[in-house]
Amino acid sequence: RKCDVVNRGFSGYNTRWAKVILPRLISKSAGAESTVAVTIFFGANDSALKDLNPKQHVPLEEYAANLKSMVQYLKSVDITEDRIILITPPPLQESAWEKECLAKGDKLNRRNSTTGEYAKACVQVARDCGTAVVDLWTLMQKKQDFSCYLSDGLHLSPEGNNFLTAQLWGCLEKQVSGLPFLLPYWRDVDTASPEGSLLGE
């Protein structure tokens, strides 16, 4: 009852493409001053191995530069760095993802160690730009068997999404807690005349 949550998920995209479309998704006229937070969650596709997945692969240095560029764009439309949260790619469970690749007639096209380099670069960009960061790659691997967080070795499972939500909430809670409620608590709605409660009539 405080915020609208706008999800812009683009299956298979990398930072090279996301950087191009970001101004279409968030523009100055879209009310930047009322934006509480923006999350940027890329790297799993960028870190695909160049030889085996050249379409999605983005070199490490370009990935970092693209993230910086997106942060700078957001700042240019008045979304300050304290409202930007970078999220690293999650770890890769190689044996599970290899099964998926083999089923499509492909070889394993990602490596967890490579994804880790992209995660480190993402953390460094956050430090350099003064944004918050959720280091999913490191946090998930604190659990010895992190495969429960991934549905197929690469994409988040429901448990993985819940884990990310819990980590993100740590960044968002203080930003959201001070906001006014735009609509009443359900128990406070006047059942005889809901319009009065809901529309402020």
- Write out the DSSP string of 88-109: PPPP--HHHHHHHHHHTT----
The answer as to whether 189 is a domain residue is no
Residue 156: pLDDT band (50, 70, 90) is very high
The answer as to whether 199 is a domain residue is no
The answer as to whether 3 is a domain residue is no
Gap between the Cα atoms of 181 and 78, Å rounded: 23
Calculate the average pLDDT of the chain: 93
Token couple for 79 = 């979304």
The answer as to whether 59 is a domain residue is yes
pTM across the whole model: 0.92
Counted domains in the chain: 1
The answer as to whether 130 is a domain residue is yes
The answer as to whether 35 is a domain residue is yes
- To which H or E segment does residue 41 belong? strand 38-41
Residue 201: pLDDT band (50, 70, 90) is low
The answer as to whether 78 is a domain residue is yes
Instruction: Give yes or no for a contact between 131 and 72, defined as CB atoms under 8 angstroms apart.
Output: no
SS (H, E, C) 21-74: HHHHHCCHHHCHHHCCCEEEECCCCCCCCCCCCCCCCCCHHHHHHHHHHHHHHH
In this structure, the number of other CB atoms found within 10 A of the CB of residue 1 comes to 10
Does 149 score more than 80 pLDDT? yes
Gap between the Cα atoms of 65 and 177, Å rounded: 33
pLDDT for res 30: 61
Report the CATH number that the domain containing residue 141 is assigned in CATH: 3.40.50.1110
Does 188 score more than 80 pLDDT? yes
How does pLDDT run across 46-103, given as a tens digit for each residue?
999 999 999 999 999 999 999 999 999 999 999 999 999 999 999 999 999 999 999 9
Q: Which domain, by its residues, includes 172? A: 15-180
